[in-house]
Amino acid sequence: MTREKAQLKPGVLPPFQALIDAHWRDVARLARAMAGPVDGDDAAQRAWEKAYAAYPKLTSAKNLRSWLLTITARCATDVHRARKPQRPLDEAPPVAVEGPEATDFPDPELWRAVNQLPERQRFAVTLKYVGDLDHHGVAAALDTTPAASRRLVSDALATLRSKLGVDDD
């Protein structure tokens, strides 16, 4: 018994169920915020399948939450892109996401405004705030630099402020 207790060193991978229990809500919220309610659920499910497949090969148990959210972001991007014609990223026009009436949601005004942001800004701002990632995490998830992430988030916040008529700088 003592011998087995001694084997529980920090750094070993926790049981996958612990990740699900701790993070499934964040994964689901982020996927929906990025890709909309319908595609978002599909993206979240795919993200969990990818994470489950890759999990035993992970060499570190650090930053598992960022790891999961990065996979989620990639799946949300893929699922969402598959639905519209391909264009260079930064030229992409705003793509409103479809789904249930936004009035059913806790903050419908904000939900609508976020959905109407240009795609890249929406991804960055939702990763930053819904995903609660820092700019390094956002940048990793979007294959860009922290400086670009900062700019995207800042542009998104400016658009949201003007659209929502809030001035809280």
Partner 1 sequence: MTDLESRLNRLTTPDLKPPTFPDADVAYTLHDTPIGTLLLAIAGGRVVASSFGDEETMTTRLARAVSPRVLRQPRPLDDVRRQLDEYLAGSRHTFDLEVDLALATPFQRLVLNDLPDHTRYGATTTYGTVASDIDKPKAARAVGTALGANPVCVVLPCHRVVGANGALTGYAGGLEAKRFLLNLEAKG
Hey, what are 166's tokens?
């809030």
Which residue stretch of 45-53, 73-81, 84-92, 134-142 sits at the interface with partner 1 (rule: CB under 8 A)? Answer: 45-53
**Residue that the structure tokens 């929906």 belong to:** 32
What track of x and - describes contact with partner 1 for positions 62 through 81 (by CB under 8 A)?
--------------------
> What CA–CA distance (Å, rounded) separates 14 from 66?
15
**Residue that the structure tokens 């400086």 belong to:** 147
Q: Which of 66, 70, 77, 126 binds partner 1 (CB under 8 A)?
A: 126
Distances (CA, A) of 51 to 29, 48, 54: 17, 5, 5
Residue 25 CA to its chain's centroid (Å): 11
Q: Which residues bind partner 1 (CB under 8 A)?
A: 1, 3-4, 7-8, 12-18, 20, 24-25, 27-29, 32-33, 37, 41, 44-45, 48-49, 52, 55-56, 100, 104-107, 110-111, 114, 125-126, 128-130, 132, 157, 160-161, 164, 166, 168-169
